[in-house]
Every structure is written in structure tokens, then in C-alpha cells.
Amino acid sequence: MDVLVSWAEAFIGVFKQGADVFTGLLTGIVPLLLVLLTGVNALIALIGPQRVNKFGEWAAREGVIYYPIRYLVWPVLSVFFLTNPMAYTNGQFLPEKYKPAFYDSAVSFVHPPLGIFPHVNPGELFVWLGIATGIETLGLNVTDLAVRYLLTGFVVILIRGIVTERITAFLWKRSEATAA
């Protein structure tokens, strides 16, 4: 009989644990995202959607000179101010042809600033802290690593944005050719 009771307690324990996780989400990340969405929408309303859209139009101009705006400045500002995962919504201000590349740049930048700006992706902070612990164990400076990681992130997101933009253009042309 004790075995049966133990199994029953373990069975219901799984669901209790699931309920605890669910409650944690409802009292943690969900309200945070709702307030963040409301705040960002209010800020956009105050600034004026036309002005924000104009920035998107400006960043979407043709030419190599606009690559850093689209794939470095805009994703970095988005990740810094809106954090992960809200940062990806700023792609809405760019034309469709640039959205995949913006997303690639933004999603690639949620880890590099963690050593200096942990607020950008607190859910993944354990990754950085694990690396930092190993660096400190070796007697090395963690701040040097954090700065190098951030600077490398700038270079990587710019390259990824440009490459993804070109891949997207190629695939769209190919799909248009096969559709015709």
C-alpha cells in the first residue's frame, strides 16, 4: 500500500510542479511583457508612429551606408532598451525585405552585452555567469572579456544582417522565378 501511495504522490507532484512553473510565468514574465508592450506602444504614440516609421524608412534606404543603421544601430538600441524578446518587434518599422536580416541581427545580439548590461537577457544570464566564473578561476579579468564579447557582437550582428539580407533577396528572387 505504501508503494501505491508513493506513486500517487509522485504523480500528483508532477502536476503541482507544473502549476508552480505556470504560476511563476503568470506572476513574472507575462506581466512584465504586458507592461513593456504597453510602455513601448505608449512611447511610440508619444513620439508619433509617423516619426518612428520615418526612421524605418530612413534605415531602409538602399546603399551600403545604411547597413550599419539597419543591422547595428537599430538592433543594438532595440535590445538595450526593449530587451529580449521585445526587441524583435522593432523590425515592424522596416520593409518586409529587411525584416529577416533585422531579426537575425537582433537575436544574435542578446548574448554579447550580458557581461556589461545583464538586463538585456536576464533569462540567459547563467550562461555568462558560468563563463565568468571560469575566467575568474583562471585569474583573468572578466571585464576585459565582457568588452571583447560586446565588440565582437557588434561585428557579428553587422555581418549577419548583411549576409541574411543577401540570402533573403536571393531566395525571394528564386521563389518569384519558380512561381512565374
Tens-digit pLDDT profile for residues 119-157: 788 778 788 888 888 999 999 999 999 999 999 999 999
Is the peptide bond preceding residue 85 cis, with omega within 30 degrees of 0? yes
Q: Give the span between the Cα atoms of 81 and 120, in whole angstroms.
A: 8
Predicted pLDDT of residue 164: 96
Q: Give the span between the Cα atoms of 110 and 84, in whole angstroms.
A: 7
Predicted pLDDT of residue 48: 83
Predicted pLDDT of residue 140: 93
Query: What angle (nearest 5°) sits at the alpha carbon of residue 60, between those of residues 81 and 74?
Result: 15
State which residues of the chain have pLDDT below 70: 25, 29, 33, 180
81 and 93 Cβ atoms separated by less than 8 Å: no
Query: What contacts 82, CB < 8 A, 6 or more positions away?
Result: 36, 40, 89, 90
